[in-house]
Chains A and B, each alone.
Chain A
Amino acid sequence: MSIKVRIEDGDGSGNRAKVTEGGYVFVQDSNLPPVDDRDLQIIYRQNLTLNGDGTTTEMTVDGSTTPQLFTIDAIPEKDIYITSLSIFVQATSLTLGEDFAGSNINTGGLTTALPNGCRLYYEDKNGEINIGTDIVVNFDFIRLCQGNAPFGDNSTAFIKTDGTPTIFPILSFKKVFGFQSGLRLLRNTTDKLVFEVNDDLTAGGTILPADASINIIANGFELK
Chain B
Amino acid sequence: MSRNSNIIDGEGTGTYLKVNEGGYVFTQNSNLPPVTDRDLQIVYRKFLTLNGDGTTNSMLVDGSTTPQLFYVEASPDNDIYITSLSIVIQGLNINLGDDFGGSSGLATPLFTSLPNGCRLFYEDKNGEVNIGTDLDTNFELVRLCQGNPSFGNDANAFKVPNLAPGGKGKTTSDGYIPVLDFPEVFGFNYGLRLQRGTTNRLVFEINDDIRIDADGGGLPDDAGFNIIVYGFERKPN
Contact = CB atoms under 8 A, between A and B. Distances in A.
Interface string B39-59: 101111100000000000000
B124 to A, nearest CB: 18
Contacts of A136: 166-167, 170
Interface string A168-179: 000000011111
Interface string A152-170: 1111011000000000000
A4 B183 CA distance: 38
A175 B181 contact: yes
B186 interface: no
Interface residues of A, number: 74
A101 to B, nearest CB: 13
Nearest to A97: B162
A153 B153 contact: yes
Nearest to B44: A177
Contacts of B24: 17-18, 26-28
A53 interface: no
A183 B33 contact: no
Given A154-B161, A157-B151, A142 B166 contact: no
A39 to B, nearest CB: 11
B185 interface: no
Contacts of A97: 161-164, 172
A136 B19 CA distance: 57
Contacts of A178: 81, 83, 183, 190-191, 231-232
B1 to A, nearest CB: 6
A152 B152 contact: yes
Contacts of B181: 175
A157 B43 contact: no
Interface string A125-144: 11001111111110110110
Interface size range on B against A: 35 or more
Given A13-B21, A177-B230, A180-B33, A96 B26 contact: no
Interface in A11-29: 11, 13, 15-18, 25-29
Interface in B101-157: 148-153, 156
B4 interface: yes
A25 B25 contact: yes
Interface string B1-40: 1111111100000011111111111111111110001010
A11 B18 contact: yes
A177 B230 CA distance: 6
Top 10 nearest A-B pairs (CB, nearest first) are: A10-B16, A18-B23, A147-B149, A4-B2, A136-B166, A181-B33, A150-B149, A150-B151, A178-B83, A9-B19
